[in-house]
Structure 1
Amino acid sequence: MLALTACTPDNAPAGAAAADQPLPELQVPASAAGGACILLDYPQIEEHIGVRFDVAASDQSGETATCVVQTEGSTRPDLTLVVVESTTADARTYLAELKPKGAKSLSGLGAAAYRQVLPAEDGAGPAVELGWLTKDKQLLSLRFTFGDGAGEQEANDMAGRLVNLAQALDSDEL
């Protein structure tokens, strides 16, 4: 005599329930993108600026490495890190020649630093940019660009949080 049984959740073979479960989402670390992304870590970015990113891309050209982090499926907000491996500039030269016109000098970050808030343009919201000369003669910049619709107050609030992230990068805390 042949007996047939149907596989239902109540009488499914052991292990079948586990096979039906969706796989957990795995997040590839930002550092896996290489380039300047090796300096960034999603949880610590979120800890310092309050924004969670989950995708990263990098590029390298000569002594300049870049990294852009975003949220999957959205182009904004984004955070861009640029690292120039070495420079002959000193603090005075950096502020006189490399600080953008209208940017404010910033203390407490590297040998010399600036910050600026840029207006919204081209379908993006305002941007906050920090640039600094590290004590070991590297040039770094961080730029956070908001999505369309963000205001100047949000950008000014982000500037302080971005300084915290920059200080962590400058001190190798990330």
Structure 2
Amino acid sequence: MRACTARRVVRVAGVVLALGGLVGTTACSGDDPEEPSTPETEAVAPTLPSSAEASATPSASPSAVPTSLPPAAEAGGVCASVTFAEVRDALGITFQVAAASGKSGSVRTCVLARLDEPLPDLTFVATPLDGDVSEDDYEKDFVPDNADEQNGLGRAAYKQVVAATAQAGPVVRIGWLGEETVYTLTLTTEKATGTPGAQAYLPKLVALAPKLIPS
């Protein structure tokens, strides 16, 4: 495997760890609804060859992407219900690597990324609830500012497009209230993505969301 491929896998696992830390530091602010936790990271990555194997194997071309990669479910955790094929069919984006963090009873995160490009990436977060949360409680404690109501998803839901930054295109996010869990699904788009293009992902995320919920 190319060195850049290995670095991309490590980057995805690092994103999961960073998200876990972000959840812990922002849950009380209302900007990010997840409860604090200390995630245990499970990342699935292609096996790297030994130095002897590497020297005997011709180097891949710069544009080559490994084709024999493990399925997203092998990352475990909340990634167990995710398939690259379903995500591709829903969003039109092909992801190749997955990383998971968290354990049952805590905030769990699944990140999907590409091997050949840093963006886009897709993040699915499941936050368990300690007790009964009403729709009003959800709106007050979990829905970010400047979000719009989303119908037809969970007991209550929102949708949001956050403006592009110098590092990435717009962030497209939906969140919803389940029976015992709060979920968010976030797509960080490429820098070249415009606002209309980002908004077009909202109904696609809504259609994909129920397929990601662990059974």
**TM-score normalised per structure 1:** 0.79
Question: In the aligned structure 2, how far is the partner of 1:141 from the partner of 1:49?
Answer: 16
2:157 is matched with which residue: 92, 103, 113? 113
CA contact (8 A) 1:113 1:131 kept: yes
1:132 is matched with which residue: 158, 173, 176? 176
**Percent identity over paired residues:** 33
The structure where helix makes up a greater share of residues is 2
**Residue 164 of structure 1, CA deviation:** 0.6
User: Where do 1:37-56 residues align within 5 Å?
Assistant: 37-56=79-98
**Residue 48 of structure 1, CA deviation:** 1.3
CA contact (8 A) 1:124 1:145 kept: yes
User: Where do 1:3-42 residues align within 5 Å?
Assistant: 25-42=67-84
Secondary structure (helix, strand or coil) at the match of 2:170 reads strand
Name the count of aligned residue pairs: 148
Q: Which has the larger radius of gyration?
A: 1
| Structure 2 residue runs without a partner (length 5+) | 1-65
Question: In the aligned structure 2, how far is the partner of 1:169 from the partner of 1:51?
Answer: 16
**TM-score normalised per structure 2:** 0.64
The structure where strand makes up a greater share of residues is 1
Name the Cα RMSD after superposition. Answer: 1.9
| Structure 1 residue runs without a partner (length 5+) | 1-23
User: Where do 1:86-165 residues align within 5 Å?
Assistant: 86-88=129-131, 89-134=133-178, 136-165=179-208
